[in-house]
Amino acid sequence: MNGAIIRNPMIWADVPDLDVIRVDSLFYMASTSMHSMPGCPIMKSENLRDWEIVNYVYDTLEDNDAHRLSDRVGIYGKGMWAPSLRFKDGMYYVCFSCNDMGRFYVYRTEDIEHGKWERSVIPGLRHDPSLLFDDGRVFVIYGNGDIRITELTEDATALKPGGIDQPLLQGEREGINLRIEGCHAYKLNGYYYLFFIEWPGIGNRRRRQICYRSRDLLGPYERKILLDDDMGYQNNGVAQGGIVDTPDHDWYAVLFQDHGAVGRIPWVLPMTWEDDWPVIGADGRDPRVFETKLPEASPKPIVISDEFDYGDNRLALNWQWNHNPDPRLWSVTERPGYLRLRTGNLSDSVLRARNTLTQRTEGPVCRAETLLDVSNLKPGDRAGLVALQNGFGTVGVEADEGGGFQIAMCVNDGEGRPETVESIPFSGNQIHLKIRFDFRESVDQSKFYYSVDGANWKRIGRILEMKYTLDHFMGYRIGLFNYATKQSGGYADFDYFRYFKQL
């Protein structure tokens, strides 16, 4: 075929609940971002292999105490998830629920890569929704186990008065731990196809991909298991997602797999049709590597290095803040060539500190380094690098009451506060910091380092045994932080962030 060769996983990083569409020759993907801001990333690809971040649906979803972390709890494991991305008559649509707000959101734009999104808010949660455009009517299909269908107005901005709003189908109950969810709805070949995942409680007990089909929107529906495969990884099924075709009329399923501490990672698998049922895989197997007719393209990094050389106060799209940032307290122009993080409200933990700037981590291994200027920290300030999940690990500098500094490696003490594993006195103004991440064979470990000259590195603290936990529901991220524990007004300057897909 002499086209792009896809090697799975297509992205070895946390890109969960993804939904992919094709518009002409370009593919676009939306995915879950929960508490990271800006949110609901939009990625673009020419070949389903090489993806780049081109936009976000919103800068901030809501502006309240939880989204600002002012309530000291935040929206970890909540926020937005499971978006549905669709294109119809020149307009792009994204819909999703926000679990802490109890609301359903629909965003629209004519320019998916550069445009602003028009927002509509509809009361009530609609779990794992899928938009379906059908002969001038618009529906959202959603739910867990008991699946419902609700009709929206033609522009998808509100509930349609007197429109359909009723149960649609019931997923299997017997022997099932997690009933069907994660809907992706399509109208093809004279059928309505609804793709779901389910998690059986008997047999191999792994997530699997299910399809329901009917010639009538309101059913009855037939059911078929499409994919039940862990690709050799710890009985974690590759499932949940949808399908997309190419300009050459080839079909692919785009799904994801829970992959330990790095997060939920996407897979692309070839798909064919047999008796009007989708068949995922090739020659009876699910390939890790296969050739396509899609064009070669230049890879674009999902995680980037950054020297913080910006002409205006706007960061590269690869960066996301942990919860809503305070725009008054960060800058890449105040000191050219540096990221400046000022302290605001007092905090007792990086988990509750605003303006922590993050990117994803990637497998199988990666590392990140920064050079931190601590000259303007105030007593009680803590600044540095974080491996961010509930079971966090940090390496950084703590300013003490006497004007001195400690280099410290800390972990979550079990109550969300930092427990110092090791600290070392430090008398300089600049310090190099590094974290190394190892996700090979589910080792899921990170190690922490410091250096006074950037050449001779010393380990500090202990190995962090990273765990993906559902209270955050997100893979480990690498972040830059600075927060005050005693008084506000100090600031930390980060000279650069350098990222490497190697140890």
Distance from C-alpha of 207 to C-alpha of 197, rounded to nearest angstrom: 6
Separation of alpha carbons 309 and 305, rounded Å: 11
Q: Are 213 and 255 in contact (CB under 8 A)?
A: no
Dihedral-angle region of residue 75 (phi above 0 means left; psi in -120 to 50 means alpha; beta otherwise): alpha
Task: Assess if residue 305 is contained within a domain.
Answer: no
Does residue 315 sit within a domain?
no
- Calpha distance 81→129 (Å, rounded): 10
- Report the CATH number that the domain containing residue 412 is assigned in CATH: 2.60.120.200
Residue 268 belongs to some domain of the structure: yes
pLDDT given at position 1: 58
Task: Please report whether residue 311 resides in a domain.
Answer: no
pLDDT given at position 45: 98
Q: Are 101 and 62 in contact (CB under 8 A)?
A: yes
Q: Which residues pair with 408 in a beta bridge?
A: 396, 423
Handedness of CA 376, 342, 361, 496 (dihedral sign): negative
- 69: CATH: 2.115.10.20
pLDDT (0 to 100) of residue 503: 78
| Within-domain flag for 62 | yes
Residues 6+ apart with CB under 8 A from 304: 316, 318, 359, 499
Same domain, 122 and 175: yes
As for how many domains the chain has, the answer is 2
pLDDT for 403: 85
Residues 286 and 327 in one domain: no
- Domain check: are 143 and 269 in the same one? yes
**Residue 235 sits in the same domain as residue 335:** no
- Let me know whether 141 and 276 are in one domain: yes
Other Cβ atoms less than 10 A from the Cβ of 31: the count is 23
pLDDT score for 284: 57
Are 344 and 460 members of one domain? Answer: yes
d(CA 399, CA 109): 47
At residue 177, the pLDDT reads 95
Inside any domain, residue 488: yes
23 with 144, same domain: the answer is yes
- On whether the CB atoms of residues 39 and 319 are closer than 8 A, the answer is no
pLDDT in single tens digits along all 503 residues of the chain: 579 999 999 999 999 999 999 999 999 999 999 999 999 999 999 999 999 999 999 999 999 999 999 999 999 999 999 999 999 999 999 999 999 999 999 999 999 999 999 999 999 999 999 999 999 999 999 999 999 999 999 999 999 999 999 999 999 999 999 999 999 999 999 999 999 999 999 999 999 999 999 999 999 999 999 999 999 999 999 999 999 999 999 999 999 999 999 999 999 999 999 999 999 987 656 789 999 999 999 989 999 999 999 999 999 999 999 999 999 999 999 999 999 999 999 999 999 999 999 999 999 999 999 999 999 999 999 999 999 999 999 999 999 988 899 999 999 999 999 999 999 999 999 999 999 999 999 999 999 999 999 999 999 999 999 999 999 999 999 999 999 999 999 999 999 999 999 87
Count of CB atoms within 10 A of residue 454's CB? 12
Same domain, 29 and 82: yes
The residues, any chain, with a CB within 8 Å of residue 88's CB and separated by 6 or more, are 133
Domain containing 82 equals 5-291
pLDDT, residue 286, reads 73
Closest CA to 301 of 224, 361, 216: 361
Same domain for 150 and 274: yes
pTM above 0.95, yes or no: yes
Backbone dihedral angles phi then psi of residue 479, each to the nearest 5 degrees: -140, 160
Q: Do 369 and 256 sit in the same domain of this protein? A: no
Domain co-membership, 143 together with 87? yes
The CA distance from 165 to 154, in Å, is 15
Token pair belonging to 247: 């300009």
The answer to whether 387 and 393 have CB atoms below 8 angstroms apart is yes
Question: Is the bond into 9 cis (omega within 30 degrees of 0)?
Answer: yes
In a domain, 206, yes or no: yes
Q: In 3D, which of 198, 261, 212 has the Cα closest to residue 234? A: 261
pLDDT at 207: 97
Please check whether residue 87 lies inside any domain of the structure: yes
- 386 and 476 in a single domain? The answer is yes
Do residues 29 and 40 lie in contact, with contact meaning Cβ atoms separated by under 8 Å? no
